[in-house]
Amino acid sequence: MPATINDARIREILTSSPTIAILGIHQEPEKAAFYVPEYLHDEGYRIIGVNPRFTEQTLFGEPVRATLAEIGEPVDIVDVFRRAELIPAHIEDILAMKPRPKVVWFQLGIKNDDAAKILEAAGIVVVQNRCTLADHQRLALGPPTRG
C-alpha cells in the first residue's frame, strides 16, 4: 500500500535524506534540472547528477554519472527529471541500486502510476508530481540531517 504523502511525510523525507541522485540533471542554469539541484546543493544536500550526455562534467562537486548503477554508494532520494513515459526505462536501474533508495521523487508535472506501483512493491516510497525545491521552501526546511 502506498505511503500517504502529506506535508509531515514530505518534511520527514527532505530532512532525513542528505544524498540525492538527480536523474536527468542538466547543465543549463535556466532548466529546472539544473536550478532545483543547485538550490538543494546550496541548502546542504549532496547532489549526484545522472545523465549520459554530461559524463565529462562535474556538477555540484560530483562527477556526473551515466547511470544510477554507477553511483555505487547509498542514495536517499532519486529525484527524477525525465518525462513520465521515459520512467519505465529507468525502473530496472533504480531497483538494481545497492542499497535501494528510500524514495523516488518524480518532479512537478511527472506522474507514472504504473512505475510507482512497481517501485512501491519493492519497498520504495514514491512521490509524484511535486517539486523538491518548492516543498523545501514552502515548509521552511533547513539542511538535511546527516545520519
Boundaries of every domain in the chain:
7-138
pLDDT score, position 142: 80
pLDDT score, position 1: 46
What is the CATH topology of the domain spanning 7-138?
Rossmann fold (3.40.50)
CB within 8 A of 98, min separation 6: which ones? none
- Low-confidence spans in the chain with pLDDT less than 50: 1
Give this prediction's pTM.
0.94
b vs e for 22-31, b when ≥16 Cβ sit within 10 Å of the residue's Cβ? Answer: bbbbbeeeee
pLDDT score, position 47: 98
- Round the CA-based radius of gyration of the chain to a whole number and report it: 14
- Terminal C-alpha separation, the chain: 27
